[in-house]
Amino acid sequence: MKQLGYALVVALLLTGCGSKKRTVSQRNSEVKTIQTENIAEENTTIPKSSGRFVKFPIASTEEYIETFAEISQQEMKAYGIPASITLAQGILESGSGRGELTLKTNNHFGIKCHTGWEGEYDYHDDDEKGECFRKYNHPMYSFRDHSIFLSTRSRYAFLFNYRRDDYKKWAHGLRQAGYATDRRYPQKLISIIERYGLDRYDDAVVRGGGIEVVRQPKSYEVFTHKVVKGDTLYALSRKYAISVEELKQLNNLNGNTISVGQELNIRREKSK
């Protein structure tokens, strides 16, 4: 009966998403019509579920893990992102599902609107006041969008060269790629994973075999360049075929200033 009930909920969610449009009031009394997100239909099927309903509010981190572990494993099978990383990010970014932003938007990963987002959104104070964050009809859409977000942006491509169960490299790689501004972000993710034993969900997927990655990412190599007189970020971006923004993200640079003798991380696609 739970399986049937959950299927009905998913059917209703899918019916409510897709072609429907809505009008959202913005600041300064501007009005903008946007297209509701269609994550499930435009990319892949929605994650399967054990039939467990999502109760709000979620009472504890343990309950959060119990609620979303299977979805995280399904995302790992489909996209190759460790389930432990997905769960740890969800716990950290959403306050185990109890954070203000998550409660009003079902956004479990703090993903901002970014250019090209055509789904629903809401404003929330984060690094700056009144930033635009993505909004979802149900948490499962947030988990799927998280997978799509990481697997379709070039700055995260090198992560997919890591083993699917190497959560430590993934944690440090997310920080290196600029996912979060917190310098201790990797340590926080690793601490959550090890405290709650989340790597067991990675092991279960790997032992099951057949990890099917939707997108085969490009293979990249990272090396260092020692800055010499006359170097600029723009010149280096032209030399190594990498954008200035990616250079800044790889090296945690807030501005465009570099110094002679400074060592910069450079990433380029491996030759075949």
> Which residues 6+ apart lie within 8 Å of 69 measured at CB?
83, 87, 201
Report the pLDDT averaged over residues 252-269.
86
CATH of the domain at 262: 3.10.350.10
Asked whether residue 58 is domain-assigned, the answer is yes
What is the SS3 assignment for 197?
A: coil
Residue with tokens 């170097």: 231
Q: Are residues 138 and 228 in the same domain?
A: no
Q: For 247, list phi and psi in degrees, rounded to 5.
A: -60, -45
Of the three residues 208, 238, 261, the one that is the final residue of a domain is 208
Query: Stretch 42-46: mean pLDDT, rounded?
Result: 40
The enclosing H or E element of 32 equals strand 31-35
Number of domains in the chain: 2
Domain final residue pick, 187, 208, 229: 208
CA 156, CA 207: separation in Å to the nearest integer? 25
pLDDT confidence of residue 2: 39
More confident residue, 213 or 131: 131
pTM, entire model:
0.60
Residue 121 has pLDDT above 70, yes or no: yes
Which helix or strand (DSSP H or E) is residue 131 part of? strand 131-134
The model's pLDDT over 88-100, given as tens digits with 9 standing for 90+, comes to 999 999 999 988 8
CA dist 75 and 72 (Å) reads 5
Banded model confidence at residue 227, pLDDT cuts 50, 70, 90: very high
Bond from prior residue into 57 cis (ω within 30 degrees of 0):
yes
Same domain, 56 and 142: yes
| Alpha carbons within 13 A on the beta-carbon side of 253 | 18
Secondary structure (H, E, C), 60-76: CHHHHHHHHHHHHHHHH
Residue 16, pLDDT above cutoff 70 = no
Q: Which of 219, 224, 220, 202 is nearest to 211 (CA)?
A: 202
- pLDDT > 70: what percent of the chain? 72
| CATH number, domain containing residue 198 | 1.10.530.10
Whole-number Cα distances in Å, 269 to 25, 89, 213, 266, 272: 43, 27, 19, 10, 9
253 and 196 belong to one structural domain? no
Same domain assignment for residues 251 and 194: no
Specify whether the CB–CB gap between 151 and 76 falls below 8 A: no
Angle formed by the axes of helices 199-208 and 83-94, to 10°? 150
Same domain, 159 and 252: no
- Does position 131 have pLDDT exceeding 70, yes or no? yes
Q: Is the pLDDT of residue 39 over 60?
A: no
pLDDT per residue over 148-201, tens digit each?
999 999 999 999 999 999 999 999 999 999 998 899 999 999 999 999 999 999
DSSP 269: E
pLDDT of residue 52: 41
Domain extent at residue 233: 220-269
| DSSP-assigned beta bridge partners for residue 128 | none
Under the banding of pLDDT at 50, 70 and 90, the label for residue 117 is confident
